[in-house]
Amino acid sequence: MTSSSTPESRRARSTSPGNVNRIVAPRRHAPELAPHPHVDSAYVFMAVGRAILARALFIVHSMATIIQTVRIEQNDSVWLFALISLLIVFEGSYTIIMRAGDERKWFCTSLLLYIVATAPPIWLLETKLCEWREDLAKDGKSDILIDIVEFFDVFKEKVVYTDKRMQQIVLAAWTLSLLQFPFVLTVSRARKMRVAITKAYEELIMPRRRAEFWQVIRDVDIWAIILANSLQDIPFLLVRLYLMLIQGLVTYTMIFFTFKNALIIFFQTYR
């Protein structure tokens, strides 16, 4: 005969020592913070927007330069540089799709493609302009050169625009200076050092520790200085010294920028 089970007896059995381990308290999960998709999506949207805008400007300017060069030179082979501009589209598509618009840390491929597509047509344009300069008035020269890079000011001098070899030397130095810009991080550091060049005098009188060889080799700032000096300051200084000492082109502007290049090279090398 089975005995009846009352509620009191069931509670007593459930709280007996043998059944204590069977009682499992309900687990309470800590409230989880909801993710913020707006933060990540906003960052990706801005990165993609910057990537598209930069490459659109590269393509528009390079194509405008190519079209103008074809119109002036009457040479359809210049259109081949437009194929390099199209490579910017494929590079941009890869950056947007595979990297969500995030640029590489050390090197900018799109900027290198832009330089390769734009610099040679500018060579042709500037060489053609040099053929016209003897017939231009002095005011006309300033209007033509108003949007040209500072280094192009030497093209206003007769010793340059009448000498084909001198034109090629100046354009080669200018093109070489453009090749520093795809190196994003190193060039940005080198530019900051150039801005702070006035503080170098304080470092001349301060004691310095001797750095180990491998620390110097691995220092990004050292490579930034080498890159800036070898691709811009040293070539510009050599060209200006050649114009002053060999060609006899001595002007106040030439003297000023020659000393500027020399001082920058000296202080950056010392650092």
State the Cα–Cα distance between residues 168 and 188, nearest whole angstrom. 28
28 vs 39: which has the higher pLDDT: 28
Q: Is the pLDDT at 178 greater than 50, yes or no?
A: yes
Task: Evaluate whether 100 touches 44 at the Cβ level (below 8 Å).
Answer: yes
Distances (CA, A) of 218 to 188, 209, 211: 17, 17, 11
Distances (CA, A) of 265 to 49, 185, 227, 228, 269: 38, 20, 11, 9, 6
Task: Evaluate whether 47 touches 101 at the Cβ level (below 8 Å).
Answer: yes
For residue 97, what are its two tokens?
A: 């799709």
Backbone torsions φ then ψ of 137, nearest 5 degrees:
-75, 165
Q: Is the pLDDT at 99 greater than 90, yes or no?
A: no
Mean pLDDT, all residues of the chain: 73
State the pLDDT at residue 192: 52
Task: Evaluate whether 244 touches 159 at the Cβ level (below 8 Å).
Answer: no
Q: Is the pLDDT at 58 greater than 60, yes or no?
A: yes
Q: Report pLDDT digits (tens) over 184-220.
A: 655 555 555 554 444 444 444 444 545 565 665 666 6
Reduced to 3 states (helix: H, G, I; strand: E, B; else coil), residue 149 is coil
The C-alpha angle 180, 266, 227, rounded to 5 degrees, equals: 15
Burial 34-49 (b: 16+ CB within 10 A, else e): eeeeeeeeeeeeebbe
Q: Report pLDDT digits (tens) over 6-16.
A: 555 555 454 45
Task: Evaluate whether 268 touches 197 at the Cβ level (below 8 Å).
Answer: yes
Query: pLDDT band for position 27 (50/70/90)?
Result: low
pTM: 0.59
Distances (CA, A) of 46 to 26, 52, 116: 46, 10, 27
Task: Evaluate whether 51 touches 101 at the Cβ level (below 8 Å).
Answer: yes
State the pLDDT at residue 181: 73
Q: What is the mean pLDDT of residues 134-141?
A: 44
